[in-house]
Amino acid sequence: MHPQDKIRNVAIVAHVDHGKTTLVDFMLRQSGVFRANEEVVDRVMDSNDQERERGITILAKNTSVRWGEYKINIIDTPGHSDFGGEVERTLMMADAALLLVDAAEGPLPQTRFVLRKALARGFPVVLVVNKIDRQDARPEEVLSEVFDLFCDLEASDVQADFATLYAIGKLGLARYNLTDTNTDLAPLFDTIVKRVPPPTGDPKAPLQIIVTSLDHDDYVGRIAIGRIVQGTVKEGERVSVMGAEKVTDAKIAVLYTYEGLARKRTPDAAAGENIAIAGIEEVTIGDTLTDPLHQNVLPRIHVEEPTIKMRFGVNTSPFAGKDGGKYLTSRQIRERLHREARKNPAVRVEDTESADQFLVYGRGELALAVLVETMRRDFYELSLGNPEVVTKEIDGKLHEPLELVICDVPDAFVGVVTQRLGERKGIMVNMGNPGRGRVRLEFQVPSRALIGFRSEFLTSTRGTGLLNTEFYGWKEWSGPMMRRTNGAMVSDRSGTCTPYALFHLQPRGEFFVGVGAPVYEGMIVGEHNRPNDADVNIIREKKLTSVRTAGKDENVALYPPRVLTVETAMEWIDRDELVEVTPLNVRVRKAILSASFRPARREHAE
């Protein structure tokens, strides 16, 4: 059991891609967690397959390092706003926040969000201005912007007197001043030891443990991860699980603390330590584990309300069950969704009037897309409806969520971005031109206007623009909103795509399928270049006759199809369309497959 005054609990928070996980890599390396000859992958904390593919942190994770006689427990948190629920939960395991800010980009929307949560908990903050080696770095200006943000968020005088370090995360160095020449992270470790307070809580008081996240192990089953608020816990001890609706008794079968990247079994642990407990199957996030004789419950974890909802259902296409799916029934899908809701409080699941469909609420499209992709890789098949915003009534009037959108674009694209967001009822609230040929624009835009906007934004800025959003509040319903401008090309029969058919349909739009792809009636095979839908025969073959013609042997040159992912398909579909997700394919289709019964596409406003 580590002495309480030698423990430091710190959460690393930042906007996405500002270098948190890379910095944690070097903290682990320089504190001796790895052997000198050990081969270590980059971003070792991003252990999830999707995290490595997308290059972002999705799940908050715990680790610890030793610095002298001190043990520093580190919580690496996601930087994307869609995973803000992870940040809110895991901040309960920390006593201070290490705030990373990019030396060029400065504070962005998620920086404001995570800092607001940290300040609300009364945390002292250590600021790390990262990536000072960038060509467009402006560390002094960024420091001033961060101080303005502290003032804007009404930080206390003690919090506003934050320590500042300058770092290059990918080189593993941190400095007190820009002119220093050291090449390690010693200043960062020393600042954490000095500025982060030791955990409070009486080790001799009755036991209280708050559960902040759950994990699963094939050998020991469900693992509850949390923090000892007060008291001391021992392996084999009986505890009371104070749930939202009931109280149950349980035994702590295995007790772990965090040592480096591994969980280390320990006989006991005291107040202030971050722990993992195995052997309690009925525990959920937010529960309190207490001494059976002193059942004092802690306040439950509350996260901000979701802003996006989407309909999940059984895959009813003609190809259902033919693409390697193992879990196809509504019961299996329902169990999986409710299991996710228990593990992630930012996700909410509701049954609908249909036994085959469920409403799933989340923070944003990316959060729901990650859930769907995870289910797909676990061999689930399902269909997805159009993402919609969550509305609520305030003073008898319908309100919808509002987003603060910050665009960083080259000078040449200011006009087109302003036009695109203006069409979506966006209001510009700020515009800054720090030089270097780029402009920062701030808009307030209804959340539903941003569904599907990211891909259009990247196209409009030719891939050079940066788009960040943050939930800003609620505003009165804005009325009809522009949807997708182009219609769909829909297959009017089942079969296999042929080069001949694709070649002659190419002038009518862009395809989602290639030669040899199986299709069925009602499956969307491409985006039409006109506002209306077009039913097309994509399996047509060339007539084989003995008559020779001038164009008989013309060369068939086809453009490569646009490959849809779960995320891009969700953004693309309209109200009368569905995404069909299987382990092998992502397809889009009409909700009503038969062309005879399907109504014509209405104007592109909702």
Identify the CATH number of the domain defined by range 305-386+482-606: 3.30.70.870
Chosen CATH of 392-476 out of 3.30.70.240, 3.40.50.300, 3.30.365.10, 3.40.605.10: 3.30.70.240
What global pTM score does this model have? 0.84
**Angle, CA 603 vertex, CA 599 and CA 604 arms, to 5°:** 115
Q: Average pLDDT in the 135-149 region? A: 90
Pairing of strands 247-251, 238-242: antiparallel
Higher pLDDT, 533 or 37: 533
Distance (Å, whole) CA 526 – CA 497: 12
User: First and final CA of the chain: distance in angstroms?
Assistant: 60
Q: Average pLDDT in the 342-369 region? A: 89
Alpha carbon separation from 558 to 504, 506, 514, 551 (Å, rounded) = 10, 8, 9, 17
Residue 337 in this model has a pLDDT that exceeds 70: yes
Closest CA to 449 of 430, 466, 427: 427
Q: Where do the structural domains in the chain lie, given as residue ranges?
A: 4-195, 208-290, 305-386+482-606, 392-476
3-state percent helix, strand, coil for the chain, nearest multiple of 5: 25, 35, 45
Band of pLDDT at residue 350, cut at 50, 70 and 90: very high
Listed range (47-51, 211-215, 444-448, 484-488) with the worst mean pLDDT: 47-51
pLDDT at 358: 94
Specify whether the CB–CB gap between 359 and 350 falls below 8 A: yes
pLDDT at 163: 92
Q: Within 435-534, where are the H helices?
A: 453-460, 499-505
Q: Check if CATH label 2.40.30.10 holds for domain 208-290.
A: yes
pLDDT at 124: 92
Phi-psi region of 462 (alpha: psi -120 to 50; beta: other; left: phi over 0): left
Q: Cβ of 160: how many Cβ atoms within 10 Å?
A: 14
Kindly state the tokens that stand for 312: 């999940």
Distance (Å, whole) CA 421 – CA 416: 9
pLDDT digits (tens, 9 = 90+) for 311-330: 999 999 999 989 888 999 99
- With a pLDDT cut of 90, the percent of the chain lying above it is 38
Kindly state the tokens that stand for 488: 């769909």
Band of pLDDT at residue 190, cut at 50, 70 and 90: very high
Higher pLDDT, 553 or 385: 385
Which three-class secondary structure state does DSSP give residue 4?
helix
pLDDT at 113: 83
Band of pLDDT at residue 146, cut at 50, 70 and 90: very high
Which three-class secondary structure state does DSSP give residue 113?
helix
Q: Average pLDDT in the 396-405 region? A: 89
pLDDT at 85: 79
**487: Cβ contacts below 8 Å, ≥ 6 apart:** 527, 528, 530, 531, 532, 533, 534, 601
Identify the CATH number of the domain defined by range 4-195: 3.40.50.300
Closest CA to 543 of 551, 534, 535: 551
pLDDT at 38: 55
Distance (Å, whole) CA 410 – CA 386: 32
**175: Cβ contacts below 8 Å, ≥ 6 apart:** 165, 166, 167, 182, 187
> Exposure pattern of 385-409 as b/e (b: 16+ CB <10 Å)?
bbbbbbbeeeeeeeebbbbbbbbbb
Same fold across 4-195 and 392-476: no
Distance (Å, whole) CA 265 – CA 257: 6
- With a pLDDT cut of 70, the percent of the chain lying above it is 94
Residue 307 in this model has a pLDDT that exceeds 90: no
Average pLDDT, the chain: 87
pLDDT at 605: 45
pLDDT digits (tens, 9 = 90+) for 545-604: 766 665 555 678 889 999 999 989 998 998 889 999 999 999 999 999 988 888 877 644
Supply the DSSP string of 73-85, one letter for each residue: EEEE---SGGGHH
pLDDT at 297: 87
